[in-house]
Structure 1
């Protein structure tokens, strides 16, 4: 089983566990200075070393890049923190990166974020998000440390001042996650997701600061910063590859932004300027999609249409996110010129094991086909889920299977994003 499949099975069995998110400190230095082969060997050797420190019954695997996850069943946050601290000390004192020819062995350190499954956690994503937030705390405090989700919750660094400084210093940047055509694996779009780049270079995910931003009523400023940068990137891509059809770029819009018409006007002005810079092709292609959830819109779809009118008049497309999470979504299909439906992620995550979830998605796809809409399944984490979705006729997919959000690395539009999934398909 893959790590994702193990996590899905644990939740299906309703078992408790602690999650250790382990990151190699300054791994980029190892990779850049000693080469990728040396970096790969470090990953292999360190993973074996950590496995030796874990108690029996634990699961362990590589998560992404130079991050690993350890799953400890039926344990408390305090016990998991103690275990993580033991592992950190063992690595610091006992692991030597000694595969470098005649060079002296190099000491490697790790940072660990720890979380535990809460009763309300229906899936593994929130558990990982809390561990990721704790890991950020550990690295922010100087690396070679352990931090727990409780440490994160006690922290005060997610304040209006922190977000304000990120905006002023242009450290609020978009990360792009690919969206692929399920039938072929080709990248057809991406979604711009907000990140704060810490002064130490680490990235703070949106899950950590967007709720605070909403409560502070400054989410509209984050939206404007991210959308403006994404628009500029879109124009640069068109200029760099004239004559090609650009991929779509999905941009999230919050309720807070919809309440600030002047901010919307500024976004449209930036889009118009970018269109002028890259000529008529960009001006006619309009490869930007405004993505908004049902709960972000007002109750009256006709009032929502008035709010979204500036985007529509400029020629941008509309996507409804989390479709299937509420009954009134269908009213928006009736009254709004929607082009894309992003299927509620909870349905996608349950499609492998629950026939009802599969039937609901099949029904959504049937409606989309009749209305000539493009469907996008979110949270696609494994190949079996992707195949089921493709069999049901779902058009596009997004999730960790196809790629995690990345900074300034647009996915190529000419090759399958996950080739093994499509080998043998006609």
Structure 2
């Protein structure tokens, strides 16, 4: 690519700037003139459009008044009712002459012409615009522009009522040359009316002469451009179309036209003046540019060379250039400042690239380099991961400022222990002790790190989980180490001590967890037959009948085999899939309930919901919609929610549960007694039933402690007007005790294991008369 000297560049720049300025001025003048013309034309055309609209509106009012006088005339209505054609024709003729109407006609309600004063509307023919007839019947009247015998009329149709509609009167004025000349004199614009049928002109009337009508036209003011200022292009008209009528393949348009010639006569003089000024500026700028370029080129060349040296990393220049030009001297000083700042920022960027800005510890990128370097030199090291459990809750409860304080404090405590420390993300840290620690020392470090933190007026207590890896046995590269460290920390959070050493089994558990998430997501998206629902009956201990059943989800994966609900439901909740699982269960359960009813099995089906499901604002409306589509009622479905879920977000869950109860659904607390073991919240809980956990029922007939607990729960629940369900009933003795104590429902293997819906139907019919208390 050819290069040029600074003199040449300055010369070209100056000339170019002047030319650009000239073009900009010309463009500005053109733009301003165009906008000014547009505004004037727009205002003129808008006023003309308004005036035309007013004229036709007044004519419409006149038509309506005249038509009303006719249709209100008792004699005319009598003639119409008696079909006195002679009187009708005479009345139409006289009324038309009196009001100056060009068209008078009477139509039947079906649109047939019975009498007319116009050759274009002959008796016995159908009115040519049936849509107007329909509109008149629906609205009492209608107004439109129509073409009759190659002439344009403004016509109004009005119902003749006595008192019910018996006919339609039509009255109209001709739109001819005198009307257009009147519009022209009012609007000061040329006026034309054009009627087209199937894009073919069937009527045209204009105030323009034939020669003027052939002049170039621009539709609307937006069509004006700078080309409009060219003298050869100024003999043109700017038009605006006003639709008057559209229907039955006919379109009638009013066209207003303004001449553009008078708007641009002064532009040529202005253009010539601007061109002379531009030429003078161009000559002066070239002389000044030559002198200016020579003065600045030499010091700038020196600065260019110095900048290249700075870019290469040499920061040894103490002085740069001297110049009498203030800007060049300032530029030289700026180069010195830039040299110093670049050197400082390089150090700062290097630090930020390798450290966490909040805590000052190494970041994930830097610790990865450190670990790979240690592995490269075959070092033996102990790596300890530290995770703040529920760190998000710390931010939510105490604020992000105090959350940052906790991170900074924990980082300081880690740094004080020596060794290598890093913050991986969020509340997760990595520590490589100088010397490996034994279990007791790790526990001591955990307690030391978790010491309460004083923050303003509160004390924050952190819960920490620790995962320990021994390298290179547990991992021999940084990527594997960080992955296994995350798996170990996740495992540690579920242990009482929140502390664990890595085990190879963790990888298998992690892999299975990922496989469960992947396969479950795939099965849900395809509505795979791997997923199914089974039903376990509930015996009404009062009536000795089965009136309820619980829907339980089963998953027999082609790749993973049978996966228990206790396993995949928990994983689904943690992976954010529980909503999809619930949608599938509800859809399948509603469909099965419909099939049960069709098979004469009338039971209420209970579906398990999690707290996340209850807090889903759209779930209830979806359930009600599906019930309506299936032809079911709310009494045929019930919902169970685990006790611990109820307490985890009491206020939010309670309010949502109230909506389910108000919708007519029965609600039950599942696994009651295994959660907080507190019954004080029952007074405000919007539920209908308690379901005693099977751990208290399995050995009920043998264990006195279980008997005391179950009896107490039943009595207390009844005091709150709640029904009780006992699950896990497997013996006749347990069933008898539950009946004796007034338990409402029993569920368990004594009655039936959970079975598919087809088997449940058969079981129900086989046991409809079974006396469960005398087996």
Q: TM-score, normalised by structure 1?
A: 0.55
What does residue 589 of structure 2 align with? 230
SS of structure 2 residue aligned to 1:159:
helix
Shift of residue 273, structure 1, vs aligned partner: 2.3
Distance, in Å, in 1 between the alignment partners of 2:647 and 2:637 is 22
What does residue 218 of structure 1 align with? 577
Q: Is 2:611–2:653's contact at 8 Å kept on the other side of the alignment? A: no
1:90-105 mapped onto 2 (5 Å cutoff):
none
Can you list the C-alpha shifts for 1:158-198, whole angstroms capped at 9, x where unaligned?
42211111102213322111111245653221111111243
Distance, in Å, in 2 between the alignment partners of 1:341 and 1:186 is 19
For residue 253 of structure 1, the aligned residue among 599, 609, 619 is 609
For residue 398 of structure 1, the aligned residue among 734, 742, 747 is 747
What does residue 466 of structure 2 align with? none
Cα pair distance change 1:150/1:174, threshold 3 Å: farther
Can you list the C-alpha shifts for 1:302-347, whole angstroms capped at 9, x where unaligned?
5323222442232111111122234565344211332111012221
How many correspondences in the alignment? Answer: 266
Cα pair distance change 1:192/1:423, threshold 3 Å: same
Give ranges in structure 2 of 5+ residues lacking alignment. Answer: 1-504
**Pairing 1:271–2:627 present:** yes
For residue 518 of structure 2, the aligned residue among 145, 152, 161 is 161
**Pairing 1:198–2:557 present:** yes
Can you list the C-alpha shifts for 1:276-306, whole angstroms capped at 9, x where unaligned?
xx3xxx43x6211110112112456453232
Q: Is 1:301–1:331's contact at 8 Å kept on the other side of the alignment? A: no
1:201-350 mapped onto 2 (5 Å cutoff):
203-241=562-600, 246-274=602-630, 278=631, 282-283=632-633, 286-299=635-648, 301-327=650-676, 330-350=679-699
Q: Is 1:218–1:256's contact at 8 Å kept on the other side of the alignment? A: no
Shift of residue 201, structure 1, vs aligned partner: 12
Distance, in Å, in 1 between the alignment partners of 2:508 and 2:707 is 37
Cα pair distance change 1:396/1:156, threshold 3 Å: same
Cα pair distance change 1:354/1:341, threshold 3 Å: same
Distance, in Å, in 1 between the alignment partners of 2:636 and 2:733 is 30
Q: Is 1:187–1:414's contact at 8 Å kept on the other side of the alignment? A: no
SS of structure 2 residue aligned to 1:167:
helix
Cα pair distance change 1:151/1:182, threshold 3 Å: farther
Q: Is 1:166–1:196's contact at 8 Å kept on the other side of the alignment? A: no
SS of structure 2 residue aligned to 1:175:
strand
Give ranges in structure 1 of 5+ residues lacking alignment. Answer: 1-148
Distance, in Å, in 1 between the alignment partners of 2:757 and 2:712 is 37
Q: Is 2:736–2:773's contact at 8 Å kept on the other side of the alignment? A: no
1:37-56 mapped onto 2 (5 Å cutoff):
none
**Pairing 1:423–2:774 present:** yes
Q: Is 1:302–1:335's contact at 8 Å kept on the other side of the alignment? A: no
Q: Is 1:247–1:413's contact at 8 Å kept on the other side of the alignment? A: no
Q: Is 2:611–2:646's contact at 8 Å kept on the other side of the alignment? A: yes
Distance, in Å, in 2 between the alignment partners of 1:423 and 1:151 is 53
SS of structure 2 residue aligned to 1:156:
helix
Cα pair distance change 1:415/1:155, threshold 3 Å: same
SS of structure 1 residue aligned to 2:697:
helix
Q: Which moved more, 1:378-387 or 1:159-168?
A: 378-387
**Pairing 1:386–2:752 present:** no
Distance, in Å, in 1 between the alignment partners of 2:532 and 2:617 is 22
Can you list the C-alpha shifts for 1:355-391, whole angstroms capped at 9, x where unaligned?
1221121112112333332211111122222222222
Rg larger for = 2
Q: Is 2:541–2:744's contact at 8 Å kept on the other side of the alignment? A: yes
Q: Which moved more, 1:388-397 or 1:193-202?
A: 193-202
What does residue 364 of structure 1 align with? 713
Q: Which moved more, 1:299-308 or 1:347-356?
A: 299-308
Please give the root-mean-square deviation of Cα atoms over the aligned residues, in Å.
3.2
Cα pair distance change 1:254/1:184, threshold 3 Å: same
**Pairing 1:176–2:535 present:** yes
Q: Is 1:179–1:189's contact at 8 Å kept on the other side of the alignment? A: yes
1:56-135 mapped onto 2 (5 Å cutoff):
none
SS of structure 2 residue aligned to 1:333:
helix
Shift of residue 260, structure 1, vs aligned partner: 2.6
SS of structure 2 residue aligned to 1:176:
strand
Q: TM-score, normalised by structure 2?
A: 0.32
Bigger share in helix: 2
Cα pair distance change 1:268/1:387, threshold 3 Å: same
Shift of residue 200, structure 1, vs aligned partner: 8.2
Cα pair distance change 1:212/1:206, threshold 3 Å: same
Shift of residue 239, structure 1, vs aligned partner: 4.3
